[in-house]
Structure 1
Amino acid sequence: MTAEAATAPPQVSRQLIRYTLIGGSGVALDLVVFLLLHNLAGMDEQLANGISTTLGIANNFVLNAKFTFERRDRLFVRFLRFYAVGLTGIAFTDLLFLAFTDGLGIDANLVKAGSLPLVLALQFVLNRKWSFA
């Protein structure tokens, strides 16, 4: 077994832990902004989701580039890729809003909160393999 193969699983584990912790800060920012825009300002849930998720994506890119994947090269290209991956989260969450909020009448706040772990897992894999490869 090569040294690289022996160290790969611990590196992935460390990256996942850091990504999750950083993701937590982005999720907190995303959720607070969503709740303020949707509940206090009365903004449509899909527009509020787009704005709040964009802020969370920007927060997470900066922190992940520095601390998780430790990549500081080609930042503009990496950000575009990271944002594209983030858009998959917006699209996925919007589909859940359509199905569960609009279709079944489930509260948008619950749908938003329930979507977060699924989006986090999907985006970690995509960002690790594409944005920061």
Structure 2
Amino acid sequence: MRYTLIGGSGVLLDMLAFLLLHNSAGMHEQLANALSTTIGITNNFVLNARITFDRRDRIVVRFLRFYAVGMTGILLTNLLFLLFTDSLGIDANLVKAGSLPLVLALQFVLNRKWSFA
């Protein structure tokens, strides 16, 4: 439950940053995705380390692992942009929003088994 609530705050930050960077600033969706996801990853790491997993040891190593897991989400979403936005013309905002459940599920499993093990 805590992971879900914290994840929700990261998703909200990620989506808001993406919308601002892509729609308002005109940044390409893949760069906007990398930056917005990094904001969400950082938020989620800090909160999960303190609240969900209660792990404060080896913080740098854990963050690097957590960010590496986050990179899987960035890569997956960027692949979806290539497939759905670039190839099929589907709006990048919809692709970003639609990618989130898949990315979150993948990251939860990887973080639980590797980042905070």
> TM-score, with normalisation over the residues of structure 2?
0.99
- Could you tell me which amino acid in structure 1 is paired with residue 39 of structure 2? L
Cα distance in structure 2, aligned partners of 1:128 and 1:29? 22
- Post-superposition shift, 1:42? 0.5
CA RMSD of aligned residues (A): 0.4
Q: 5 Å matches for 1:106-121?
A: 106-121=90-105
Give the percent of matched residue pairs that are identical in Structure 1 and Structure 2.
Answer: 81
The 3-state SS of whatever aligns with 1:100 is: helix
Q: 5 Å matches for 1:94-113?
A: 94-113=78-97
- Post-superposition shift, 1:52? 0.3
Q: Given the alignment, which residue of 3, 6, 18 partners 2:2?
A: 18
Q: Given the alignment, which residue of 70, 79, 91 partners 2:63?
A: 79
- Post-superposition shift, 1:116? 0.4
- Post-superposition shift, 1:30? 0.5
Quick check: 1:49 aligned with 2:33? yes
Cα distance in structure 2, aligned partners of 1:69 and 1:82? 12
Gaps of 5+ in 2: none
Matched residues, number: 117
Q: Given the alignment, which residue of 84, 88, 92 partners 2:72?
A: 88
> TM-score, with normalisation over the residues of structure 1?
0.87
Cα distance in structure 2, aligned partners of 1:20 and 1:101? 28
The 3-state SS of whatever aligns with 2:55 is: coil
Gaps of 5+ in 1: 1-16
Render the CA deviation track for 1:84-103: whole Å, top value 9, x for unaligned: 00000000000000000001
- Post-superposition shift, 1:19? 1.1
4+ aligned runs moved over 3 Å, structure 1: none
Cα distance in structure 1, aligned partners of 2:11 and 2:95? 14
